[in-house]
Amino acid sequence: MTVHDPILAAAQRARATIPDDTAMLRAAAELTRDYSVANPRIYWPDMLGSALIGWAAMAGAIVAENMAIAIVCGLVAMMALYRAASFIHELTHIRKGALPGFRFGWNLIVGIPLMIPSFLYEGVHTQHHARTRYGTAEDPEYLPLALMKPWSLPLFILVASLAPVGLILRFGLLTPLSLILPPLRRKVVAELSALSINPAYRRRAPEGDFARMWGWQEAGACLFALALVGSVFVFGWKPLLVYMTIHSAMTVVNQLRTLVAHLWENEGDPMTVTAQYLDSVNVPPPGALPELWAPVGLRYHALHHLLPSVPYHALGQAHARLIATLDVDSPYHRGNYPGMVPLVGKIARSTMGAR
């Protein structure tokens, strides 16, 4: 998409080349050195507890005869499984050997049953953090949404609502077909094997240990997708429809969270680290709701772009330390916002501007 207004285009280029604020970057690196270790006593109970509550609540929604009880169970299941699923983001940043068995456990309990095995994100999300790729055409997780047409935002959410259907087709149909049709396999790997929002993104074929990990995760998701379809003949339509409704709602919440994770105002120019930070969003306390729609540290998304290796449970402490230390005119303070609604409104107004 090209912005035709020369004044707006010049303003965007100026934002992309904002000089790096050395005081902020130095403070972020020095003040948070104590927060770099992932704590398994936090990760495991949080992930397992969220998954247990989520699957139990989904079972309650399936067996409940009372509609009100079913709806409450469905909402609990959606939020709990959304939190459990959000650990896929942590998997892409955890240092090798830091949490033995966590990747396997998450995939077995959450990733495969939700048909979002971690290979869909690992090796993809780190490209979003590459300084020379962020906000460019090579970034798999970036589109200039704030500069697109007004209908692009509803479409962005609608696509997310169809995720469970797409995932069943991806793993239940295309995976087995692609194993016997090499041209289809190449297309599936390149275009249908990444949790990305950039439609132009193409993924390379996996190699070595990652290829083996990809293989068992994809096989598991394929078997689960086929089992979901087959369950209709054994249990009827209700379990599948409840599962898909909860999955769809969970994905829509995540897409709304993605919509406000950045300002989406860059049109493809390489950006300085400070510019990337200012194009990203923190939604810190005192608000409590962001902990529900941006769980597992995602409410500190801008800070995460400064310090991608800091585990989710330490981001709140790191943020508090930076707020207390940095001057009031530091760009760090400009990355903090009060909530989702003002951010959605900001992006929506931007899409309605003149082009």
Task: At 338, list the tokens.
Answer: 């009060």
Residue 18 buriedness (CB in 10 A; 0-12 / 13-18 / 19+): middle
- End-to-end C-alpha distance for the chain, whole angstroms: 10
Kindly report, residue by residue over 313-346, the tens digit of the pLDDT.
999 999 999 999 999 999 999 999 999 999 999 9
Q: Which long-range contacts (CB under 8 A, 24 or more apart) does 311-315 make?
A: 311/35, 311/36, 311/37, 311/38, 311/39, 311/43, 311/90, 311/93, 311/94, 312/90, 313/39, 313/42, 313/43, 313/46, 314/32, 314/35, 314/36, 315/35
* Contact in structure between 196 and 124 (CB atoms under 8 Å): yes
Residue 4 pLDDT: 43
* Contact in structure between 301 and 278 (CB atoms under 8 Å): no
Does residue 308 have a cis bond before it (omega within 30 degrees)? no
Task: Compute the half-sphere exposure of residue 324: CA atoms within 13 Å on the CB side of its CA.
Answer: 8
Is the pLDDT at 172 greater than 80? The verdict is yes
Q: Is 232 helix (H, G, I), strand (E, B) or coil?
A: helix
Angle at the Cα of 85 (from 213 to 316), degrees rounded to 5?
A: 115
Largest CA distance in the chain: 64
Could you tell me the pLDDT band of residue 2, with boundaries at 50, 70 and 90? very low
Q: What is the pTM of this model?
A: 0.94
Kindly report, residue by residue over 209-263, the tens digit of the pLDDT.
999 999 999 999 999 999 999 999 999 999 999 999 999 999 999 999 999 999 9
- What is the DSSP-derived secondary structure letter of residue 283? -
Give CA–CA dist 141/107, Å, rounded.
22
* Contact in structure between 115 and 224 (CB atoms under 8 Å): yes
Is the pLDDT at 11 greater than 70? The verdict is no
